[in-house]
Structure formats: C-alpha cells, structure tokens
Structure 1
Amino acid sequence: MAALSAPSSDMTPSGSAARIAGGLEFIIAGVCGAIVANLYFAQPVVGEIGAALGLSPERAGLIVTLTQLGYCCGLLLLVPLGDILENRRLALSVLAIGFIAAVTMAVTKSHIVFLLASIGLGVGSVSVQILLPYAAALADPQRQGVVVGRVMAGILTGIMLSRPVSALIAGALGWRSVFGLAAVVCVLAAVSIWRRMPPRKPDSTTNYAGIIRSLFSAATNNRLLQRRAAYQFLMFYSYTLFWTALPLLLFGSAYGMNHLQVSLIALAGASGAAMSPVAGKIADRGLIIPGTTIALAVGVLAWVIVAFGASGGAIGVIVLTLGAIVLDGAVPVSLVMSQRELFSAHPEQRSRLNGLFMAMFFVGGALGASVGVWAFESQGWLGVVVAGAAGPAAALVLHLISTARRSTTIVGGTSK
C-alpha cells in the first residue's frame, strides 16, 4: 500500500516540505514522546500516591484511568480543532492545561484535587495528536508515511520510557518529583514548539460544530474506522493492563524489587518502539492484512509467556522481561498498520479520524488500567493474565472474521 496520501485541499501548510525533511520530523517526534510520557508517569507509583493521599489500592487505579479519560476527551473535543485553527498555537494552548495540572499534582495534598488534576494532565497531553497530523501536512507527499512512522516511534518511545523514568525518579526523590518533571516537560516542549516549528493555518471554512457533527457520522458509518479502532482498543487495553499490574507483582513478596529493578524491566520493553518504522515499511509493501494478523497473534503469545512469571526468581524475571518485549513489539505494529490503512483511505479527514481512532485507543487503555489493578488485587497474577490475553485474542478473532468476509465480498464482485 502506498504511503499516506497528500494533505487534502483544505489544508495549506505555512512552511515548505523541505523544512520537515531537514530534521523537523525528529524534533516533532522528540517533543511528542516527551509530552505523551506525562500520561504514564503515575503508573509505577500508583501505590505510593494512594498511600500518601489516603486512597485504597482499588481507588488508586483511578489516577491512571482519569488521566486516560481526560486524554480521550481532548481527542474528541480538541484534536478536531486542528482542521480549523493554527496548529502551533493550538498545541501550545492545550499544553498549558497540562502544565497547570502537573504543578497541581506535584503540590496538592487532597486526593480529590489530585484526581481532578489527573484529568487535566490527560487533556494537556493531547497536544501530541495535534502535532501528528501537523507533521504529515508539512511533509512531502512521497515522505508522509516515513514522517508519520518516525513521529509515532517517538510517541511510542515516550510511552515505553515513561514508566522506568518515573520509577527511577520516584525511588531517588519521591513520587511528587515525578509530576514536577511532568511540568518541566511541558515547559521545554512549549519552547521547542514555539521556536522550532513553523506555523500552519488550515485553509478551511468548516466551523467547529460542523466538524463535531462529522465525527458522529464517521463513528457510525465508517466501517474501516470501526474495525481498526476496535483492534486498537483491545490491544491497548491489554498493554496498559500489563504495565499497570506488573509493578504490583514486582514490588510484592514474590520478587520484592525496588524502583530501579522495576525500571530496568520496563526499559527493556521500550525496545518494542523500534518496530514502528519496520511496520511502516511492511505496510508500504501492501502487507497490512498479514502484518495485522501476525501482530495480534504475537500479542496473545506475549501473555502465554508472562503466565509463567508469577513464581519469582531469575527464571521469572527472564520470562516477564521477554513477555514485555514481545507485547511492546506487537502493539506498535498493529497501531501503525491500522493508521496506515485508515489515513490512506480517508486523507481528507485525517485530523478528525485521528481523534476518533485514538480516542478508542486510549479508552481501551483507561479500561485496562482499572482492570489491571482490580484483577491483581482480587485474582492474583493468573487473573491478570486471563484478563490481559482476552484483548489481543478478541482482536485476532474479529480480524480473522473481517478478513474472511472481505475476501468473500471481493470474490463476489465488489471491493467495499
């Protein structure tokens, strides 16, 4: 399949494609990776935050859940503005919300205020999904696939590195310093956006109400969006469930690890981000369907591997690390495959479809975070494995059924 289509006619970038070819794509990737890390800084320290603020382990899981839900609200209500407002100023305005929330989380002693600020941190982090279509619009049409793949690699690297970085900082300076870092990240990202990225004003007469109406139409009528969003909902549910529950296992009696040791295991999983550019090349060769099949099947395999990691010891560490690497490789491959197919099919609706698609992606993450804490506290590691494996297994079944139906339709004389 070809790389992403050229920007639609209603988008007029301010700045030439050559500017992003000269290295701007790497700056955007780095900024996006730094910002999105704010979404996950709380995961390794949920237990400590809950103890400090008087939250039970089950309710402490709401910290991650509310952050993800805030992000989803931003995806649906703010990302579509990228089709009508100047992108750089929009990203900075949204990022300011994240800065205020991070400072609040670093200093408040109220669990209610902290939970509300968690929503704000999620909303502020949605600026990365404003910058992703921005990067695609500034790129040369023949390089859009490469640019989007590199920015996604930055985002995924930020997600995967966020947990070990958080664990290291919390172990050395305490959990509040983690959110101090989040505030600093917002400031540094804002400086980079303002100084290094050219403005881009979309040439569109569509108003905000019209864009929001089109979201409902796409959500109810676009079968490709529905299918791909379902896959990624289930995959990210599984991914977030794993990384929410794993620290609880490693800090427990079976392993008794400290923050540094937990961070090293999480760091190993970050290698999975390297699969994003590889997935892009595979998709460019027209192998999206088999690539998706393999990614979803590997997601199931990852849970089979980690099922043997509950007993502790060196073997348990090896098993859990291997499973983390496998899972962290499967998720970006399935994500890039989905984005490539979706954006290539509907280039004129890139920002709006990106908002809907990623909203479902992160709703899955929010659900996974809550289920992960509940499953571990009530059912132990076996419960975590069963709940987690259900995600990629269900996605694989849906994908195989859809592929079979589409093959039958094509044979019958249509290609819808």
Structure 2
Amino acid sequence: MNVWRRLLLAVVCGVAVAGIYAAQPVLGPMGHDLGLSADRAGWIVSTGQFGYVAGLLLLVPLGDVVADRRRLIAVHLVVTAAGMILTAAASAAWMAFVGLAAAGVFAVVVQITVAYAASISPPAERGRTIGVVTSGVVVGILGARVVTGALADVGSWRSIYAVLAALSAVLAALVLAVLPPDERPEGHAGPGYSKALASVGQLFTQRLFLTRGLITFFLFASFGTLWSAVALPLAHAPWHLTESQIGLFGLAGLAGALGAARAGRWADTGRAVAVSGLALALLIASWAAIGQLPWALWLLVIGIIALDFAVQVVHVSNQHLLTCAYPDRLSTVIGGYMVFYSFGSALGAAATTAVYASHGWAGSSLLGAGFAACALIVWATNRRPSAGGAHIPPEGPGGVATAHLREQTRVC
C-alpha cells in the first residue's frame, strides 16, 4: 500500500473519532444552546461514546461478512455525515442526541478501516500500515481539543459539526474513487452475520485476545486518567490557564503519538511483544514527570509526550499481533479488542475526577501509574512468545491453528 492510501485511511480514522470527542471543549455553550442544565451537559459526550460501544458489538462484525470492506467504509462515513448534520442543525437536545448517537455508532468505521488496511497490506508491511492508520485515531482524539476550540471562536459549536459532516462526505467519495477493493477470493467468503457476531464471544476464550485486551484496558485507563482530569489543575492555582491554553497541551500528546509511528515497523520485525513491555515501563515512568504538574509545566510536557508515545506503541503492537493471529476475522477481532479500549477509557475518566476531588493531582498521578503497572503485570505474566512473538490460537472451536495461520504468525 502506498503512502497516500495510508494517509487517506488515517484521515478517515481521525475524522470519525473526532466526532465523538469534538464536544468536550464546547460543552458549556453547546449545553446552553440546547437547553441542558450543567449537570446533564456531560450526556452530550456520553451519548456518542455509548453509541460507539454499540457499534463495536453490532456493526464491526459486518466487516467480516460483506464482500468489500471499502464500500462498507463509505456507507459508514455517509451515515456519520448525516448524524453530524442533524447535530449541527439541532434545535432541541433530543435532535442533537440522535445525531450524536448515530455518529457514535458509525464511528466504528475506524475498526473497519484498520481491518481493511491490514487485509490489503503485504504481511511484511502490515505493522507499518497499522501504525500509520491508527495514528489518525490519536490525531482525532487529541487534535479535536485544539481544532474545535479554534472553530468555536470563529463561528459556533455548530460549525464544528458542519465541518465534520462535510469532511465525512468528501472522504466517502475519495474512499470509493481512490482505494482498491478487498474482495475475497472465490471460495473464501466471510461467515454469515450471526456467526460473525457469535465469534465475538468466542474470542473471549482465547489467551492472546484476552491478554492483549486486558493490557489495552489498563493502558487506556491510564490514558483516560491523564486527559480527563489534566485541565482541572491547569485551570487553577498556580497556573490559571485558559481553555485555549490548556488545549495546546494536546499538541504535546500529538508529538508523542506521532513519534510512535515506527512502532509498526518494529512489530513487522517480530519485536511486538518485547517493544510492548518496554513501552509499558516508559508509561509508568511518564507519570513521575506528569505528577510534577503543580511545580513545573515543562515536566508535564515531557510526561505527556512520553505517555502518548508509549500508549501508541502498545496499541499498534497489540493490533498487529491480533491481525496476524486471526487473519480470517480481522474486523471482528479489532472490534472486540476495542471494547476493552472503551471500557478502560471510561474507567480512567470516571475514577480520575473522583480521586482528584479527594486527593488532588498527586492522587490522580498515582492512579494513572497504578493502571500502567497493572498493564505491565499482565504483559509480564503472559509474555511467553509463540511463533515469533504471537500466540497461535489453540486447536478447537474458535481457534483452529491452520497451516496458513501459522505461516502468518511467523511473518508477524
């Protein structure tokens, strides 16, 4: 796959995930316009996130059923655009909630896109491709905090969703015009939808899937601990930063995440397991710098760069191992894996605000480091490599180790 196609897929991921997080910097004016009280404004973000979890479970398995994932990506983007348009034009809260829910459900185009990218990439380049494509997710999450604030200053919160709708529609057309189909060869048709849906449950009996899922759960709990609470101490003494100034810290996160683009190449050389362990150790260390926020902002910046670098390295390595081990159900395995991501992020966000209220930033920093330590413990107790670093699923239902699968894991 050439570099321009990788970048197009990365943009698809970034725009899709930005729709879920775009409301965070503008919750106040958005809630006021829609007639929501301050204690209910949080549902603006939660609606998209709940929709995303539903999409992971119900829509992502379609990627292993349809003949051409490229067309499925385009359809998801069109529906996402419709949800954004409804949100931008909403005159009442329920209209915005419907639009945000639709955009959240179909934001799982990210997982279909990752599966598509893995399916059309040569095995020796799969990790590199996944690394570039998933970097778009991090850009969407962190960049949304910076860009939406600027758009809101120029226009209003509605202009944010109008821009996202236009981008989604344009990307749908480009996907169909520029990208090659990934139609399965004759005799290799995907399973029916009910079987694909049932296979999600079967994955939870597989050691590799559970190990990588638990690592991701704690990984993004640590990530959520930082990004869901860091604005609180920055807005108060001794810093008293404005919202736009706080949003600029997202640029440090972007620098760290994009610096980890090489993680895919490391995975392609068979070092995914070892690199994951080193990155998790770095994640723990990053919290020592982040914990210095009350005294030194430059240490916070260093910590943010290290944290986002480590998170992206582990995230790419996990997906590389899983797509190698389960080549015949790429969409299903990526969708199931991202369920751990969603619940981990939610846990970090909920826990850090409660801990900060009672124990300050020191408590939140210890919490984030604790989540990172849990991820490293899971890695350490399950790091035994098999066939070049990936665990081959065992013989039996839900994990048939075919000759083709063994060859794939050797390459990985």
User: Structures share a fold, TM > 0.5?
Assistant: yes
Does the 8 A contact of 2:111 with 2:334 survive in 1?
yes
1:272 aligns with 2:253: no
How far apart in 2 are the matches of 1:151 and 1:41? 20
Q: Deviations over 1:322-364 (max 9, x none)?
A: 2211111110011112112222222222221111011221222
1:132 to 101, 114, 139: 114
Q: Deviations over 1:30-84 (max 9, x none)?
A: 2222322222222233344445556566644443333223222212211111112
Taking structure 1 as the reference length, what is the TM-score of the superposition? 0.83
How far apart in 1 are the matches of 2:126 and 2:74? 23
What amino acid is aligned across from residue 223 of structure 2 in structure 1? Answer: Y
Change (3 A) 1:99 1:373: farther
Who is 2:194 aligned against? 209
Tell me the secondary structure at the aligned position of residue 230 of structure 2: helix
Does the 8 A contact of 2:128 with 2:262 survive in 1?
no
1:106 is displaced (CA, Å) by 2.4
How far apart in 2 are the matches of 1:56 and 1:322? 37
Who is 1:396 aligned against? 376
1:300 to 284, 298, 315: 284
1:147 aligns with 2:125: no
1:388 is displaced (CA, Å) by 2.6
Count matched residues: 384
How far apart in 2 are the matches of 1:267 and 1:120? 29
1:157 aligns with 2:142: no
348-357 vs 177-186, greater mean Cα deviation: 177-186
How far apart in 1 are the matches of 2:164 and 2:224? 20
244-253 vs 232-241, greater mean Cα deviation: 244-253
Change (3 A) 1:415 1:80: closer
Q: Greater relative contact order: 1 or 2 (C-alpha under 8 angstroms, separation 6 or more)?
A: 1
Who is 2:176 aligned against? 194
What amino acid is aligned across from residue 371 of structure 1 in structure 2? Answer: A
Tell me the secondary structure at the aligned position of residue 200 of structure 1: coil
1:250 aligns with 2:234: yes
1:238 aligns with 2:222: yes
How far apart in 1 are the matches of 2:393 and 2:103? 43
Change (3 A) 1:54 1:138: same
How far apart in 2 are the matches of 1:307 and 1:22? 38
Change (3 A) 1:25 1:215: same
Q: Deviations over 1:290-312 (max 9, x none)?
A: 3112211222222222222135x
1:30 aligns with 2:7: no
Does the 8 A contact of 1:343 with 1:350 survive in 2?
yes
1:378 is displaced (CA, Å) by 5.6
Task: Indicate the RMSD between aligned Cα atoms, in angstroms.
Answer: 2.7
Change (3 A) 1:300 1:270: same
Structure 2 unaligned segments of length 5 or more: list them: 386-391, 395-412
Q: Please identify which structure carries the higher helix content.
A: 1
How far apart in 2 are the matches of 1:373 and 1:181? 31
Does the 8 A contact of 1:250 with 1:256 survive in 2?
yes
Who is 2:247 aligned against? 263
229-238 vs 95-104, greater mean Cα deviation: 95-104
Does the 8 A contact of 1:282 with 1:288 survive in 2?
yes
Does the 8 A contact of 2:280 with 2:375 survive in 1?
yes
Does the 8 A contact of 1:238 with 1:391 survive in 2?
yes
1:77 to 32, 48, 58: 58
